[in-house]
Amino acid sequence: MARFFNVFSLRNLLVLSLALNVSLILRVLYEKDSEVMNGLCLDKKRETLMATDSVPSEAQATETVYLSMPSFSSSSTADSNGGDRIINLDHGDPTMYERFWQQAGDKSTIMIPGWQSMSYFSDAGSLCWFLEPEFAKEIIRLHKRVGNAVTKDRYIVVGTGSTQLYQADAVEPLSVVSASPYYSSYPLITDCLKSGLYKWAGDAQSFNREGPFIELVTSPNNPDGYVRQSVVNKSGGILVHDLAYYWPQYSPIDAVADHDIMLFTVSKSTGHAGMRIGWALVKDEEVAKKMVKFIELNTIGVSRDSQLRAAKVLQVVTDGCEYPTSLRSLFDFAAHLMEERWKLLRAAVRQSSLFTLPEFSPGSCGFLNRSFEPRPAFAWLKCEEPIEDCEGFLRSNNILTRSGKHFGVGPHYVRISMLDRDETFYIFVERLSTIHLRQSRQVNETGE
Ligand SMILES: Cc1ncc(COP(=O)(O)O)c(C=O)c1O
């Protein structure tokens, strides 16, 4: 203990005092108004972590020891790493976007009178008869503005989330593969919903079965964020490009994607996961017809109300790019936030020295007109030796993540959502940065 206090300087005490005061104020604010807290407290947390990132590592360590003293964790006052609070970053729930849409206010509000959108049909004469024309128009407008996908001569098929669209690509028994690490829902959806038609066949890199197959190419990839291309070296396959994360807040837009079947979703582009709206851009008319048929049999179309709301949201996003106002565009807002979050996460990982993260090369973004490193929606974190079970290790620190096991990879890896609300994210990085210190302190205190 004496050695512990020896390393403290007056500066450390000031940091402690600041942290405690901030925690107390924040607690009061949080209980009064959690929105206010998002703005205030998190700025403070950000400063603390950024500051520790720019001072020599010895000082970083002592500062963070203060913030994670057991007495603060067990007190009723929230400390800067959230005390015992469970931080759940298992799901990719895009709640970080709420702040943008709150700031946008009524711009994205729509009113749907009781008599509207009553028919099953949105546009009875068109190939995708349940697609709202207004939504189709806004999809094209947005892709043209961002430059991330070809829309000319493409059929648009709307789905209840892109999850439904991914199931709608074929009507004969098929093997479905994706290179590992792959999005953890692919095997579950494939084997659960259409077991007679599809069979999950695992890692695309080792796929060598005879017969037709679907390869899902997710780019940028969930969970590891890397840009991908198809890997199966066989003919007779259908390629489905899941481009849920090919938006400028996550990835430099360096080419206009031009694949046969491309999937997008509002869940990750605008943050409206609860709307359950996705769309496919499809080159081949017959494929588009099959997808429409599947959705017709599955859910008799897609909520028209949700499509109208999605149309409005996309319109606000594109307007924000075309006619800049005092409100930043959604992509500006989210790109800055993601950039800052990745800096903080990397700083925390460096400080802890128990983990590693993927490294990315910068790319030039035609939409934002600058070059930057990808900042994926998920962090693919690796626990270094001697930690074997990364998910279990983080869970013992009250951080919930998804194990690499679900992505076709081992338990050394976890996937962590980067899209949660500010408060949750900043508590998470603070806590991550102090894990080794807390654990080594526990060991020292018990004399082991
Ligand atoms: C690669 C990928 N595709 C699709 C989805 C699901 O999108 P939706 O909410 O539109 O069903 C996700 C969600 O995390 C995803 O990561």
The number of beta carbons lying within 10 Å of the beta carbon of residue 398 is 18
Q: What is the residue with the minimal CA distance to atom 3 of ligand 1?
A: 244
pLDDT at 18: 34
- Output the six-digit token pair for 242: 């899941």
pLDDT in tens, 417-431: 999 999 999 999 999
For ligand 1, say whether the CB of 222 is within 6 Å of any of its atoms.
yes
User: Which residue, of 322, 343, 370, is where some domain finishes?
Assistant: 322
User: Which residue, of 322, 350, 380, is where some domain finishes?
Assistant: 322
DSSP labels for 177-222? EEPSS--THHHHHHHHH-TTTEEEEEEGGG---SS-EEEEEESS-T
- Output the six-digit token pair for 289: 């017809």
Q: Are residues 76 and 139 in the same domain?
A: no
Residue with tokens 């600058």: 370
Which range among 1-15, 35-49, 123-137, 183-197 shows the weakest confidence by mean pLDDT?
1-15
Tell me whether residue 372 is in a domain.
no
Question: What are the E-state strand segments in 14-125?
Answer: 87-88
Note the pTM of the prediction, 2 decimals: 0.81
Q: Which of 184, 240, 268, 306 to mutate to test the pocket of ligand 1 (most atoms within 8 A of CB)?
A: 268
pLDDT in tens, 139-192: 999 999 999 999 999 999 999 988 888 777 655 667 889 999 999 988 887 776
Percent composition of the chain: helix, strand, coil (DSSP 3-state, to 5): 45, 15, 40
Tell me whether residue 385 is in a domain.
no
The number of beta carbons lying within 10 Å of the beta carbon of residue 371 is 12
Judging by beta carbons within 10 Å of its beta carbon (0-12, 13-18, 19+), is residue 322 exposed, middle or buried? exposed
pLDDT at 364: 98
Q: What is the residue with the minimal CA distance to atom 10 of ligand 1?
A: 161
* Whole-number Å distance between alpha carbons of 66 and 22: 14
Q: Which of 96, 157, 163 to mutate to test the pocket of ligand 1 (most atoms within 8 A of CB)?
A: 163
Question: What are the E-state strand segments in 28-72?
Answer: none
* Whole-number Å distance between alpha carbons of 33 and 22: 15
Write down how long the chain is.
Answer: 448
Q: Are residues 71 and 122 in the same domain?
A: no
* Whole-number Å distance between alpha carbons of 143 and 148: 6
Half-sphere exposure in the Cβ direction for 170 (13 Å, CA):
22
Q: What is the residue with the minimal CA distance to atom 14 of ligand 1?
A: 92
For ligand 1, say whether the CB of 267 is within 6 Å of any of its atoms.
yes
* pLDDT(84) > 50: yes
For ligand 1, say whether the CB of 162 is within 6 Å of any of its atoms.
yes
Q: Which residues of 385-394 are buried (b: 16+ CB within 10 A; e: fewer)?
A: eeeebbbebb
Q: How far is CA 221 from CA 257, 408, 411, 431, in A?
A: 15, 13, 19, 26
Q: Is 155 helix (H, G, I), strand (E, B) or coil?
A: strand
Q: Are residues 48 and 159 in the same domain?
A: no
Q: What is the residue with the minimal CA distance to atom 2 of ligand 1?
A: 244
CA nearest to 260, candidates 174, 169, 350? 169
Q: Are residues 183 and 313 in the same domain?
A: yes
Q: Are residues 181 and 317 in the same domain?
A: yes
Q: Are residues 149 and 292 in the same domain?
A: yes
Which range among 31-35, 182-186, 227-231, 310-314 shows the weakest confidence by mean pLDDT?
31-35
Are 305 and 117 in contact by the 8 Å Cβ rule? The answer is yes
Half-sphere exposure in the Cβ direction for 311 (13 Å, CA):
18
Q: Are residues 208 and 155 in the same domain?
A: yes
Q: Output 405 or 174, whichever has higher pLDDT.
A: 405
Are 145 and 330 in contact by the 8 Å Cβ rule? The answer is no
pLDDT in tens, 280-297: 999 999 999 999 999 998
pLDDT at 79: 60
Tell me whether residue 415 is in a domain.
no
pLDDT in tens, 192-246: 665 567 788 889 999 988 888 999 999 999 999 999 999 998 888 899 999 999 9
Tell me whether residue 425 is in a domain.
no
DSSP 380: E
Give the helix ranges, DSSP H, for 228-327. Answer: 266-269, 285-299, 304-322
The residue-averaged pLDDT of 350-373 equals 96
Tell me whether residue 147 is in a domain.
yes
Q: Is 234 helix (H, G, I), strand (E, B) or coil?
A: coil
Q: Are residues 65 and 134 in the same domain?
A: no
Tell me whether residue 341 is in a domain.
no
User: Which residue, of 285, 303, 322, is where some domain finishes?
Assistant: 322
Q: Domain residues for 54?
A: 1-83+431-448
Tell me whether residue 281 is in a domain.
yes
Whole-number Å distance, alpha carbon 188 to ligand 1 midpoint, is 13
The number of beta carbons lying within 10 Å of the beta carbon of residue 214 is 23
| CA 163 to ligand 1: nearest atom | 11
Q: Are residues 301 and 197 in the same domain?
A: yes
DSSP 384: P
Q: Output 445 or 358, whichever has higher pLDDT.
A: 358
Q: Are residues 279 and 138 in the same domain?
A: yes
CA nearest to 304, candidates 285, 284, 262, 276? 276
DSSP 418: S
For ligand 1, say whether the CB of 163 is within 6 Å of any of its atoms.
yes
Q: Are residues 68 and 177 in the same domain?
A: no
C-alpha torsion angle, residues 316, 308, 147, 420 (rounded to 10): 70
The residue-averaged pLDDT of 386-403 equals 96
CA nearest to 248, candidates 138, 107, 376, 417? 376
Q: Are residues 167 and 316 in the same domain?
A: yes
Whole-number Å distance, alpha carbon 275 to ligand 1 midpoint, is 12
- Domain of residue 287, CATH code: 3.40.640.10
Tell me whether residue 354 is in a domain.
no
Q: How far is CA 344 from CA 47, 223, 348, 425, in A?
A: 10, 19, 6, 10
- Phi, psi values for residue 351, rounded to 5°: -65, -35
Domains held by the chain: number? 2
Are 156 and 131 in contact by the 8 Å Cβ rule? The answer is yes
Q: Is 421 helix (H, G, I), strand (E, B) or coil?
A: coil
**Single-letter amino acid, residue 271:** G
Q: Name the most confidently modeled range: 82-91, 95-104, 325-334.
A: 95-104
